[in-house]
Amino acid sequence: MISAYTQDIKHQEDELAIQYLPAVKAMAFRLKERLPSSIDYMDLSAIGTEELIKLARRYDEKLNDNFWGYAKKRVYGAMLDYLRSLDILSRASRKLVKAIDYAIEEYRVTNEEEPTDEELAEIIGEDIEKIHDARIASTIYTVMPLHDQLQVGDEGAALAKIEKEELINVIKKVLGDFAEREQLIIQFYYFEELTLKEISDILDITESRISQIHKSVIHKIKESVGA
């Protein structure tokens, strides 16, 4: 009798997970759209599915009347944890990312477009494979929450000491100094989770310019806290 009851509960939990599996796959697909080709959609989907099953098996409808409302943030968080576990930015590549960002800004002044990996390798005097890997790492990190991105680089130690509420106030103040279009870019990217291409289509500006504005916001936030 107890065994049959246990099996029935387990069946209900698995049915709950199966019901929301398409939502997890869609979430993984949307996240993958914002990542470089080296990140596998199947890996993200598998991580999300595993987390979904765990959540379904400990879900208590008496405490949460909406399973997906309870699970959505946790499933997405599991996918981000997976990306963090890749250790995508070593100290060496962080320095290279900063050098690349500076070189790109300088290049845009006269060319109005981003340089290729080959051109960057020549400008910086670095191996093209290292340039390629550093740009991939930088792209992966842009899908992380703002707080994660602010911990990247040698300035991270200073930012890690700041209370969360203080950091939120700094971010609000910095965004308030930007034009409405630039604020929209941050809102679309971080809160609506749109891709650069989708934002480009909505605002009619290039993906390269969107990337530039994003990096400028991060830089100004770091400056504002003296990092």
7-62 tens-digit pLDDT = 444 555 678 888 999 999 999 998 998 888 888 999 999 999 999 999 988 877 76
Please tell me the distance from the alpha carbon of residue 128 to that of residue 119, in angstroms, as a whole number.
9
In this predicted structure, the answer to whether residue 225 has a pLDDT above a threshold of 70 is no
How many residues are given for the chain?
Answer: 227
Please tell me the distance from the alpha carbon of residue 116 to that of residue 98, in angstroms, as a whole number.
16
Write the pLDDT tens digit of every residue in 169-195: 777 787 888 888 888 888 888 778 788
Q: For 2-85, give the CATH class.
A: mainly alpha
Write the pLDDT tens digit of every residue in 144-167: 776 666 655 555 555 555 666 676
Q: Which CATH superfamily is domain 145-227 in?
A: PhyR, sigma-like (SL) domain (1.20.140.160)
Write the pLDDT tens digit of every residue in 55-98: 988 877 767 678 888 898 899 999 988 988 886 666 667 788 88
Q: Do domains 2-85 and 145-227 have the same CATH topology?
A: no
Residue extents of the structural domains in the chain? 2-85, 87-141, 145-227
